[in-house]
Amino acid sequence: MENIIKFSDFKSVLTLRQVSKDFLNFIDSLNDSTLPDSEFSRIDMIVNEDICLRYRDSNNIQNEFIYSQMDILRSFNGKITFLGSSSVIDVAIRDLELVLKFQKSNLRLLHFHLGPSFETFPVKLSNMFKKLNRKIKTENLSMKADSQSKIMPILPFVEPRTLERIDLLTLNDNMEIEINEIVKTEQWKNADKFNCDFNVSNFNIKDICHFSETLIQFLSVSAKEMDLLRKILIDSSKLSGIWLRLKNFNEHRELSNLWGPCFIGENSRLWYFRMKNSEEEIMEFELRRNSGNFTWRIKIIHIGGVPNGAAVHDYEEN
């Protein structure tokens, strides 16, 4: 029977589980190594008034579970099952556990949308991950939440060696997260790209220097912190772009003392620095003001992209 399971596809095994309780218990007792690879490309778990679990396979075919708290039912691609006295949250998480057990190859995206309903969901999800006893392999992790407490129960259970990008998105524009715990995780340290539209506190500018691409927003940054960032990044060859969104920046004079006069562009101030071991690559720092807020954009450009009249500072060994 194990050999039959091993060489079946995911849908066939799901069908077998529904034949009888004995089949269900037998399949659920098998080691993960015996189960076929579902080869999903994307898994989404969306928690609002109802819960939605979607998974998309390598052929871009999507399947969807809907769990209704009001009607106490589960709908799978239109097929309805009434859950009786079962907990909607428990059934949804159990189904996600089953889906993840079949996932051997790397996901392209694992996405969680965690709204204000079902407050116990993140904790129960974390307990399921512990029970699963393995990291979830995904290249991209996206979490949209209304509080920081819903992020940390999930993040440590993602395989850091496969993780390339982290997106933390807010359901509350005024929400702030303390990022000091997040930056300690192996997931943060191993990711190559990071995007966050939360307001961030307890932030050290050095913590973003290993990313090739970053978008992050926080209250402010000092001229000394920007100069420290420059000294670290000037030796980097993998930088694609950094965007720092600030509520305010009021150290223009201090920055001019460190970097010299800026080049005045259209609605922006720009500084240019030579990269290590390159005559062609220049690091551009652009400070732009929009609607009362400030944005720093840092990127590497070709020397031909430096505007006429702009000073290019020589590389200085740190």
Amino acid 102: pLDDT = 81
Give the residue, 214 or 13, on which the prediction is more confident: 214
The structure tokens listed for 153 are 């129960």
Helix or strand or coil: residue 261?
coil
> 225: buried, middle or exposed (CB in 10 Å: 19+, 13-18, 0-12)?
middle
Which structural domain range is residue 165 located in?
37-199
What's 234's DSSP letter? T
Same domain? For 143 and 174 the reply is yes
Q: How many domains does the chain have?
A: 3
Same domain? For 60 and 153 the reply is yes
* CB-CB contact of 262 with 249 (8 Å): no
C-alpha to C-alpha distance for 303 and 306, rounded to whole angstroms: 6
Same domain? For 238 and 185 the reply is no
Query: What is the chain's length?
Result: 318
| Residue that is last in its domain, among 169, 199, 229 | 199
* CB-CB contact of 242 with 218 (8 Å): no
Q: Can you give the three-state secondary structure of 184-219, one letter per residue?
A: HCHHHHHCCEEEEEEEEECCCHHHHCCCCEEEEEEC
Amino acid 278: pLDDT = 84
| Residue that is last in its domain, among 173, 199, 225 | 199
Same domain? For 48 and 161 the reply is yes
Q: Is pLDDT above 80 for 17?
A: no
The closest of 279, 160, 257 to 210, measured between CA atoms, is 160
C-alpha to C-alpha distance for 124 and 153, rounded to whole angstroms: 9
The CA dihedral of 76, 81, 87, 89, to the nearest 10 degrees, is 10
The structure tokens listed for 302 are 């070709």
Same domain? For 81 and 128 the reply is yes
Give the residue, 139 or 10, on which the prediction is more confident: 139
With cut-offs at 50, 70 and 90, classify the pLDDT of residue 292: confident
Kindly report which listed range (22-36, 116-130, 198-212) carries the lowest average pLDDT score: 22-36
Same domain? For 161 and 258 the reply is no
With a CB cutoff of 8 Å and minimum separation 6, the contacts of 158 are 110, 135, 136, 138, 141, 187
| Residue that is last in its domain, among 137, 167, 199 | 199
Same domain? For 107 and 249 the reply is no
Q: Is pLDDT above 80 for 269?
A: yes
Same domain? For 266 and 138 the reply is no
Give the residue, 292 or 46, on which the prediction is more confident: 46
For the stretch 29-75, pLDDT in tens is 666 666 667 788 999 999 999 999 999 987 888 889 999 989 999 99
Q: What is the mean pLDDT of residues 119-142?
A: 93
Q: Is pLDDT above 80 for 128?
A: yes
